[in-house]
């Protein structure tokens, strides 16, 4: 059985999209961006990426209505670059998720370790492995369960942001004099790019949502609504949260690192409760990504880039074999990171961001090929300019997706994997 069922309604889709985007990025990247640059640069990076996203959101929603397939953004990118690239693009998608998903689990694992009062240096890896297992088990019960969980998460995200806003935003009157035009224009463009490339991770999720489009009810109506409603919620959350983190950093609070946001929480029961909610949000975020990732790899198996046995779907329409296989992959990569002492603060986050930005470029080209109205062309040009800015600067890291592209193309062309 290899048919996915349409189970996702509008509200469930918005909830899954929000929880797919908001989570590890919201709690892991503010501290990482500040650690790599500075507080003001990080704040501008968040606002800058928010400004770049609407054009890309329109591109995704338009293509999603036209092609509601489990291949998602991989299909769009291949339509932009040409049919020859289809297998290579899908391999880039899978390779990007292979390093991105472990990074998600490590962010969640870091917060879980803090919540449990453990040394995060020693216990992040075990907690990340536990998170990978837990979210896989939840996905085995089906996407209708995800819808309920993620509706709760949307409420909890808003609650955390409102709390931190009330706690920190009143100090904006003290901090605002430090945000001068001279300070802004003195920021090197390379530093702004680095911060935006890190922050862009937090906006990944909408492209992962495309892998679930085949399971959305009434896709032509619901897909655009899912995108724009979730984007509105996410943008408000991120803008307020980024400002609150900036204020905290400007006041001398140490917010650096994957779990730096813990420094903004008060001591005592309230801080503990907020931390519990944050961990729950991270679990749901990882849960939603496990869903999208399994559908992407499912499509790769359908294209014969992976063994056909991985295409098995049970009577509930869940690709259980793929979920078990990916759990093994994620845990293996996490252990490799631990044994090899790899710094995920840089390589893994940027590798993931780079992979999806490449896919974005192909989707923009596909959009430009198929739209006819001048105002749609303008949107495509704006999206293309955003893509160029985000893509430049990755350097040697670009070798990773290029190798994946070559592997996928060769596998497909020479039928090295078959039924």
Right CATH for 10-413 from 3.40.50.2300, 1.20.120.80, 1.20.1740.10, 1.10.1660.10: 1.20.1740.10
> Is 109 within 8 Å of 279 (Cβ atoms)?
no
> Is 140 within 8 Å of 326 (Cβ atoms)?
no
Residue 345 has a pLDDT of 54
Residue 381 has a pLDDT of 94
What ranges do the domains of the chain cover? 10-413
Tell me the average confidence (pLDDT) per consecutive run of 10 residues in the chain, 419 residues long. Answer: 62 78 77 86 92 90 80 80 84 89 89 90 92 91 63 80 83 78 88 86 73 74 88 90 87 79 85 89 82 86 85 83 94 88 66 82 91 93 88 79 89 64
Tokens of residue 103, six digits: 């990074």
CA neighbor of 124 nearest in space, from 358, 344, 366: 344
> Is 249 within 8 Å of 255 (Cβ atoms)?
yes
How many whole angstroms separate alpha carbon 96 and alpha carbon 292?
A: 13
How many whole angstroms separate alpha carbon 269 and alpha carbon 175?
A: 28
């Amino acid at each position: 059985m290899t048919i996915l069922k349409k189970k996702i309604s509008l509200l469930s889709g918005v909830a899954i999209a929000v929880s797919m985007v908001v989570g590890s990025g919201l709690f892991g990247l503010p501290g990482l961006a500040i650690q790599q640059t500075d507080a003001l640069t990080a704040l501008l990076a968040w606002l800058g990426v928010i400004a770049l996203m609407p054009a890309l959101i329109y591109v995704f929603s338009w293509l999603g209505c036209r092609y509601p397939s489990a291949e998602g953004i991989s299909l769009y990118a291949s339509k932009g670059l040409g049919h020859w690239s289809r297998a290579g693009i899908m391999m880039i998608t899978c390779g990007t998720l292979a390093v991105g998903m472990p990074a998600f689990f490590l962010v969640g694992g870091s917060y879980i370790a803090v919540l449990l009062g453990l040394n995060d240096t020693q216990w992040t890896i075990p907690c990340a492995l536990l998170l990978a297992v837990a979210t896989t088990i939840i996905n085995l019960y089906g996407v209708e369960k995800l819808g309920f969980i993620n509706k709760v998460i949307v409420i909890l995200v808003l609650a955390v942001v409102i709390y931190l806003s009330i706690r920190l935003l009143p100090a904006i009157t003290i901090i605002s004099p430090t945000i001068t035009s001279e300070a802004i224009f003195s920021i090197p463009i390379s530093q702004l790019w680095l911060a935006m490339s890190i922050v862009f991770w937090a906006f990944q999720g909408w492209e992962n949502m495309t892998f679930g489009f085949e399971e959305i009810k009434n896709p032509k109506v619901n897909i655009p609504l899912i995108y724009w409603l979730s984007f509105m919620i996410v943008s408000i959350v991120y803008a307020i949260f980024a400002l609150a983190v900036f204020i905290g950093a400007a006041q001398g609070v140490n917010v650096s690192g994957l779990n730096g946001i813990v420094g903004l929480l008060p001591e005592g029961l309230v801080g503990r409760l907020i931390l519990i909610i944050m961990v729950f949000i991270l679990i749901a975020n990882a849960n939603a990504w496990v869903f999208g990732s399994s559908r992407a790899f499912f499509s790769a198996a359908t294209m014969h880039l992976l063994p056909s046995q991985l295409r098995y779907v049970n009577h509930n329409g869940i690709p259980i074999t793929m979920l078990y296989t990916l759990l093994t992959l994620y845990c293996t990569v996490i252990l490799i990171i631990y044994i090899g002492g790899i710094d995920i603060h840089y390589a893994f986050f940027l590798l993931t961001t780079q992979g999806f930005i490449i896919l974005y470029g192909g989707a923009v080209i596909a959009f430009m090929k198929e739209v006819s109205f001048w105002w749609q062309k303008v949107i495509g040009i704006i999206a293309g300019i955003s893509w160029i800015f985000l893509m430049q600067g990755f350097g040697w890291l670009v070798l990773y997706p290029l190798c994946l592209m070559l592997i996928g193309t060769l596998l497909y062309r020479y039928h090295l994997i078959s039924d």
